[in-house]
A and B are shown apart, each in its own frame.
Chain A
């Protein structure tokens, strides 16, 4: 079974500051890793994903994440945040079933609040 721990439930930052949202996962098998963003009263939008290959993954809106297998981490970073980045961010891992990703296991989320 997989599990995901998002180490910070809330992260307040000032506009144009850098930010890192931390995610650790636990799994006995290979997994895919994802970061999703959820704006108020909306569904989930994929920011980026790690499937294999390069451990540094770039996504939309200037976000990037680094996969660290030895530390079982997949931290999300952005060098300079904007007010519009205020949202809930979820880290997720997927089972692999029959060669295609199966259910997603999510962390509890990190609320990023960007202040002016």
Chain B
């Protein structure tokens, strides 16, 4: 039990649609990161938010965007879904000065 919860657990969308994934972090964890894990691969860093501002991004296009809220929840939004966006999306949170990222159980997104 990491204290990080994600919703929904599974989701099916059609190519071209938009999707919002949600994450609730532990209280006091002001850093949240999102990762994409394609089948058979390791997680890939999408971006990180610190105190409600994006402070780092991986090699993902602008149609991947996010929000972080003062209540330690966050969102990952993906526009114009493509088939290759099918993956497990993981949220991870970290406290101030912490060295360990706590992961949620992930959201499995399937784009058809």
Contact = CB atoms under 8 A, between A and B. Distances in A.
Specify whether A and B are partners. yes
B100 interface: yes
Given A43-B103, A45-B103, A103-B56, A108 B90 contact: no
A46 B56 CA distance: 22
A43 B33 contact: no
Interface of A: 4, 32, 36, 41-46, 49, 51, 90, 92, 97, 100-109
A111 B79 CA distance: 33
Interface in B17-57: 31, 33, 35, 40-45, 48, 55-56
Contact of A109 (B42, B44, B100, B101): B42
B34 to A, nearest CB: 10
A91 to B, nearest CB: 9
Given A41-B105, A102-B48, A103-B48, 14 more contacts: A4-B42, A41-B108, A43-B4, A43-B6, A43-B103, A43-B104, A45-B2, A46-B100, A97-B56, A100-B99, A104-B35, A104-B101, A108-B40, A109-B42
Contacts, number: 65
B43 A44 contact: yes
- Binding site secondary structure of chain A: strand
Interface of B: 2, 4, 6, 31, 33, 35, 40-45, 48, 55-56, 58, 90, 92, 94, 96-106, 108
Nearest to A109: B42
Contacts of A43: 2, 4, 6, 90, 103-106
A41 B106 CA distance: 8
Contacts of B33: 103-104
